[in-house]
């Protein structure tokens, strides 16, 4: 079990553990789920296209798309509207669960490090530590959902010798029967490395909010306007994606059922040999087009939902 630390860096006692549990509030879980579900339902077709770009290693992947518009139109032409929403169920469940758990863990860890004083600012390093811990817990709990989503998104005109899946539950059952828990946790290592993505994003987001509130001499928990949340979410996501994107390519390729790698190192090595550094950034444009608006939607819904839920609970 990971040892949690407060601001002074000392190991937690039993009293500290009880105090940490007290900081876990369901409002953040519900608000995070709401934000993740809304943004995913709206932008899933771009997520599907991004995954297909990522796994296209230039060797044996079909179909090939010439760009975002061509990709969307080709999928719609050959697979219909349902093709654009392949993997939408695990994607929505995964996004809702992941954002819900992430915000839930993160706010609890952050409040714990603040010794319960939510208006006490943390350092950038403390924000990154809280976000890293929250991200690791979330990845371990949700990785099977993301494997299922990836496989369903890649299932377009699969050859008969490749396993066919009818939905998320069917995918998870067949994966477990064929590969055991290892199948559920394909791509977990780059996923854990990708925790740095969330750490960078949340650190940047929190620092921008804190700086804004400090500039206007307001408490750091002050409710901001929609525009401020949108701008801070967009900038923080752009920074995080630009720095950490390669791990997403590696994870998607490891989860791909049409091409097999011996492991993380083999995937990185073959990508570099066959495609160079550009191979690690395939789908970046599509990803930015999807995740920046998705993050903006997620954070606006989360911030407003959590504010109203917490306000309502305090009035009771």
Give the global pTM: 0.73
Give pLDDT tens digits for 94-153.
899 999 999 999 999 998 888 888 888 899 999 999 999 999 999 999 999 989 988 888
Per-range mean pLDDT, top range of 5-14, 156-165, 223-232: 223-232
Are 32 and 73 in contact by the 8 Å Cβ rule? The answer is no
Per-residue pLDDT for 288 more than 80?
A: yes
What number does CATH give the domain 14-315? 1.50.40.10
d(CA 183, CA 260): 13
Q: Is the Cα dihedral 77, 81, 82, 87 positive or negative?
A: positive
Instruction: Annotate 285-311 with b (16+ C-beta within 10 A) or e (fewer).
Output: ebbbebbbbbbbbbbbbbbbbbeebee
């Amino acid at each position: 079990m990971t040892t949690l630390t407060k601001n002074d860096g000392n190991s937690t006692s039993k009293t500290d553990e009880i105090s940490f549990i007290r900081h876990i509030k369901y409002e953040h879980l519900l608000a995070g789920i709401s934000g993740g579900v809304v943004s995913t339902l709206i932008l899933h077709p771009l997520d599907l296209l991004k995954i297909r770009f990522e796994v296209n290693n230039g060797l044996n992947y079909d179909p090939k798309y010439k760009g975002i518009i061509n990709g969307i139109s080709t999928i719609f032409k050959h697979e219909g509207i349902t093709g654009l929403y392949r993997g939408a169920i695990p994607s929505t469940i995964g996004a809702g669960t992941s954002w819900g758990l992430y915000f839930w863990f993160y706010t609890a860890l952050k409040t714990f490090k603040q010794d319960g004083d939510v208006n006490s600012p943390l350092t950038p390093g403390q924000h990154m530590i809280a976000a890293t811990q929250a991200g690791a817990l979330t990845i371990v709990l949700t990785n099977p959902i993301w494997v299922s989503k990836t496989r369903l998104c890649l299932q377009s005109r699969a050859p008969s010798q490749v396993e066919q899946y009818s939905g998320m539950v069917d995918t998870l059952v067949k994966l477990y029967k064929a590969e055991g828990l290892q199948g559920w946790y394909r791509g977990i290592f780059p996923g854990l490395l990708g925790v740095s993505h969330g750490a960078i994003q949340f650190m940047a987001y929190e620092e921008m909010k804190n700086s804004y509130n400090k500039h206007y001499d307001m408490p750091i928990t002050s409710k901001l306007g929609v525009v401020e949340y949108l701008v801070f979410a967009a900038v923080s996501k752009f920074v995080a994606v630009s720095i950490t994107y390669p791990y997403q390519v590696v994870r998607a390729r490891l989860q791909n059922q049409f091409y097999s790698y011996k492991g993380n190192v083999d995937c990185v090595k073959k990508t570099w040999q066959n495609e160079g550094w550009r191979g690690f950034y395939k789908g970046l444009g599509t990803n930015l087009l999807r995740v920046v608006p998705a993050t903006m939607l997620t954070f606006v819904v989360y911030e407003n939902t959590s504010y109203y839920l917490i306000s309502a609970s305090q009035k009771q």
